Amino acid sequence: MQPVRRFLLVRHGESEWNAVGRWQGQADPPLSRNGQEQAYLASQRIGMVDAIVASTLHRAFDTARIISENIGVGPVFVEPDLMERHAGEWEGLTRHEIEDAWPGYLDAQRRPPGYELDEVLLERVHAGLARIRVEVPGDDILVVTHGGVISALESSFGLEWVRVPNLGARWFTWDGAKFHLGERIELVDDAHTTVQPRGQL
């Protein structure tokens, strides 16, 4: 029987585009100064993990690197399939710019043609998690990823959408055959998070 393994999927710290309300998707803006501070504060609350994995996007990798340096666990492994959902034509735009070009789409929860659908996102995320299970040793793995990834996984368990703040996280447990949903936690308090509207990646 395989041992139970736990995966803490964490959203990265605030990026420079988060701070000004631009949709990111797979664009690659860096962490803001606040995001760097969030990562440091999160490292004080993580506790002990056996390994750290990150998306290849800088805002996730740099969050993981800061945590790694402060808790003494490394190196940071990278997994490309854990990057954020592609936001298609909306990448780099503010909500105001989206509303101007696609009137009513946001309120109706519609998305542009190039937007990565949940089923496509989940297929690659599960492939990435499968590689982590094979290639990364340890029972408790910290995975620094993106809000869209965590939300899509939560939705696959039937949960309604609830915004994942910067350094918000969700535990998942692997029992050797499938994943089980664990608790949602926040690694930094509200004073260090930026409120972002629904859907902003």
Tokens standing for 52? Answer: 């750290």
- Does the annotation mark 84 as catalytic? yes
d(CA 199, CA 197): 6
Q: Nearest-CA neighbor of 164 among 46, 58, 26, 18?
A: 18
Residues 86-107: b if buried by 16+ CB within 10 A, e if exposed: bbebbbebebeebeeebeeebe
Distance CA 160, CA 155 (A): 6
- Residue 48 CA to residue 38 CA, distance in Å, equals 18
Q: Which of 12, 86, 146, 192 is catalytic?
A: 12
**Residue reference for tokens 């710290």:** 13
Torsion of CA 140, 142, 147, 150, to 10 degrees: -20
Among candidate residues 14, 84, 154, 186, the one labeled active-site is 84
101: phi then psi, degrees, rounded to nearest 5: -90, -30
Q: What positions carry a catalytic annotation?
A: 12, 84
